[in-house]
Amino acid sequence: YRRIHKIPDNLGTAVTVQQMVFGNLGPSSGTGIAFSRSPSTGEKRLYGEFMFQAQGEDIVAGIRTPDPLYTLKDKKPGLLEDLQRNATILENHYKDVQDIEFTVEEGNLYLLQTRAAKRTAQAGIKIAVELAEEGIISKEEALLRIEPSYIRPLLKHTIDPNGCVDVIANGLGASSGAATGIIVFDPEEAERHHRTGQPAILVRSETTPEDIHGMVASDGILTTRGGVTSHAAVVARDLGKPCVVGCESIKINYGQKQLHVNDLTLIEGDTITICGSSGRVIRGEIPLVAPVFSREFLTLLHWADEFKTMGVYCSVNSPKEARISRSMGAEGVGLCRTEQMFMEPHRMPYVTKMILARNIWERKQALSNLIPMQKEDFLGIFRSMEGKKVNVRLLDPPLHEFLPSQEALALEIERARVAMNVKEMEEKEKLLKRIKILHESNPAFGHRGCRMGITYPEIYEIQARIIAYAALELKKEKVYVYPQIIVPLLSHSNEMKEVRETVTKALEEVFAAMGDRIEIPIGAFLEIPRACITAHKIANYADFFIFGTNDLTSSAFAFSRDDAEGKYLAYYLDHKVLPENPFVVLDQEGVGELISIGINKGKKVKPGLSIGICGEHTSDPSSVEFMQENHMEFISCLPHLVPAGKIAAAQAAIKAKMLQNKKDTD
């Protein structure tokens, strides 16, 4: 718990001394938990549970399922009103929704403890916005109360209410959002699957603090006992993970790694889906629908736009993603990856041909087949980003992803040989030979990005032409868009110079042919340490900079991400060799320092240089604060994470302003 919440090990625990009261003295005694607003939906009404003839532990442990709070009404008139009055006083005092433990001893109400309540993301938003609207807190405070990563489930697709689903059990929805994954019965197993990227649902009769690491590693949590205030429910809400509790019809057999529900038996590894809002447990994977934003969420995003100073752009691979991003409020495209467009099944053969081409003619021919498809893509993306900047990254294909496996091909050749199918054998042998020539020992650090664009200039030439044609075509329709071209994988300023020349020449040819022009700035993608170190040289040929934090992390650490995450990174994190996964939380000490060096060197040559940033780190708040400090023009997020990015950007701006105000008054 301390590790996850980053509480230092050397902080002590406070001890409070208070009068002893008993909830188990008789039928008019009991104990309960009350929330001043619903921690599940945020609704403004007293919410909670009560258990007669019980002490506090009985209710928290989730051993007996308690009654809803309103049942108190029938037992003792005035008690509920009393509780409500106290809850309001406490909420106004602490300026936040309260989680109150109370005991009734022979009809008398005693408050044992109050604290800010853990809540679901949905509730958190509603509560923050309403508190601000009620004047209890400011808009800034409301924004600062939202942990961007915890609202991610709200941005995800949820279970289609009209879909055909196979509900096998119903429990209590304790933390909203839907999750699909394979069944695992112990936390270690959950961790193991997490490392391989396999989503898992942790299924337990109840959870204890020893299970936290497994809960962190799971995509969802399902318990057979306990209520919405049990350990599992509280922790799941805190972690922002979907959770269903008290699903008593399910019986777990830990020894055999099975669960039984009615006549059905599921084993570890079977897929289930849980819905943390409705409490449904569903067999298999099921269709999901796009999220719908509440009024409060939209209000919050509106406030975020008011306060943030950085643009929140999106990183997209297709027109569809561009449309989703725009609808999510994206203010531009920070990164449009062109190689991903090629990964679609019906386009792959042409790309493979292009890569296998033995000479410029074969390559140009293969490319020509891709022209109409790429143009359609650009038209679609530009159209949905009307009036906005669209940063298009020139092709950066990881070669090996487009080529057949050598092992499989060798097997096919061997089989053709045994079957004496000479023609097939010879053809495949020729292909294998070519693939072997193209084979790279370390493809992530190989003949990619501008290295490919420089050795085969016809590729970037054609891409530049398509971008220009698409933009001019839309201009004729009076759809205005601001495309920018990014050059990937730069390590030396001469690479930028070379590509700039190729691209400029291609653009000018299109402008001349079309009798019209449009400004298309050409910028540098900084994702290699040497590029940061020599940014002052690169800036001479670049109209803007964009940092790519994924690859920069990889090259600064000399970590091949695929190998690191599968092999030693989990060990490093467990043993605190690394404080955080640097692919998730920006490593400010190393990678951040390289970014700062790059910015300083670039701005020395071009003081007004515009600087943006892309990468997974744009969805981590501490990383976004770093980006704010470094005055990025924009951060670029995944399409569905744009709203989270806006909140993070607003928080970073508010914090920066607070710090500035503090400095000014000091």
What residues are labeled active site?
231, 614
Q: Give the residue with the Cβ less far from a second copy, 166 or 563.
A: 563
406 lies in the binding site for a second copy (CB under 8 A) = yes
Binding residues among 451-510 for a second copy as defined by CB under 8 A: 451-452, 454-455, 489, 491-492, 494-495, 498
H/E run at residue 514: helix 493-514
Binding residues among 235-274 for a second copy as defined by CB under 8 A: none
Residue 353 tokens, joined: 């041909």
Query: Contact with a second copy (CB under 8 A): which of 93, 95, 302, 567?
Result: 567
* Residue 372 Ramachandran class (φ > 0 left, ψ -120 to 50 alpha, else beta): alpha
Count other Cβ atoms within 10 Å, centred on residue 92.
14
158 lies in the binding site for a second copy (CB under 8 A) = no
533 lies in the binding site for a second copy (CB under 8 A) = yes
The binding track of 581-620 with respect to a second copy, each residue x by CB under 8 A or -, is ------x-xxx-xx--------------------------
Binding residues among 304-363 for a second copy as defined by CB under 8 A: none
568 lies in the binding site for a second copy (CB under 8 A) = yes
Residue 539 tokens, joined: 């800036």
Q: Give the residue with the Cβ less far from a second copy, 470 or 539.
A: 539
Residue 374 C-alpha from the chain's centroid:
27
Residue 491 beta carbon to a second copy: minimum distance, rounded to whole angstroms: 4
560 lies in the binding site for a second copy (CB under 8 A) = yes
Residue 445 tokens, joined: 């650090």
- 515 contacts: CB under 8 Å, gap ≥ 6: none
Query: Contact with a second copy (CB under 8 A): which of 85, 562, 631, 661?
Result: 562
415 lies in the binding site for a second copy (CB under 8 A) = yes
Phi, psi at 603, each rounded to 5°: -75, -20
534 lies in the binding site for a second copy (CB under 8 A) = yes
First to last CA, the chain: 36
Nearest Cα residue to 227 out of 23, 50, 27, 1: 50
- Kindly tell me the burial class for residue 408, based on how many C-beta atoms sit within 10 Å of its own C-beta (0-12, 13-18, 19 or more): exposed
Q: Give the residue with the Cβ less far from a second copy, 130 or 527.
A: 527
- Kindly tell me the burial class for residue 78, based on how many C-beta atoms sit within 10 Å of its own C-beta (0-12, 13-18, 19 or more): exposed
- 117 contacts: CB under 8 Å, gap ≥ 6: 35, 36, 37, 39, 96, 97, 98, 99
Residue 436 beta carbon to a second copy: minimum distance, rounded to whole angstroms: 10
655 lies in the binding site for a second copy (CB under 8 A) = no
Residue 624 beta carbon to a second copy: minimum distance, rounded to whole angstroms: 21
Q: Give the residue with the Cβ less far from a second copy, 521 or 590.
A: 590
Residue 447 beta carbon to a second copy: minimum distance, rounded to whole angstroms: 4
Nearest Cα residue to 378 out of 448, 464, 314: 464
76 lies in the binding site for a second copy (CB under 8 A) = no
108 lies in the binding site for a second copy (CB under 8 A) = no
Residue 506 beta carbon to a second copy: minimum distance, rounded to whole angstroms: 18
Residue 415 beta carbon to a second copy: minimum distance, rounded to whole angstroms: 7
Residue 528 tokens, joined: 């290699």
Q: Give the residue with the Cβ less far from a second copy, 386 or 412.
A: 412
Binding residues among 381-400 for a second copy as defined by CB under 8 A: 400
Amino acid code (one letter) for 103: T
DSSP secondary structure of 599-647: HHHHHHH-TT-EEEEESGGGGSHHHHHHHHHTT-SEEEE-GGGHHHHHH
154 lies in the binding site for a second copy (CB under 8 A) = no
Binding residues among 432-451 for a second copy as defined by CB under 8 A: 440-447, 451
Residue 577 beta carbon to a second copy: minimum distance, rounded to whole angstroms: 5
- Taking the C-alpha atoms of residue 56 and residue 46, their distance in angstroms, rounded to an integer, is 19
Residue 568 beta carbon to a second copy: minimum distance, rounded to whole angstroms: 5
For the chain, helix (H) and strand (E) counts, in that order, are 27, 26
Site residues for a second copy per CB under 8 A: 400, 406-407, 410-411, 414-415, 418, 440-447, 451-452, 454-455, 489, 491-492, 494-495, 498, 527-530, 533-534, 537, 551, 554-560, 562-564, 567-568, 571-572, 575-578, 587, 589-591, 593-594
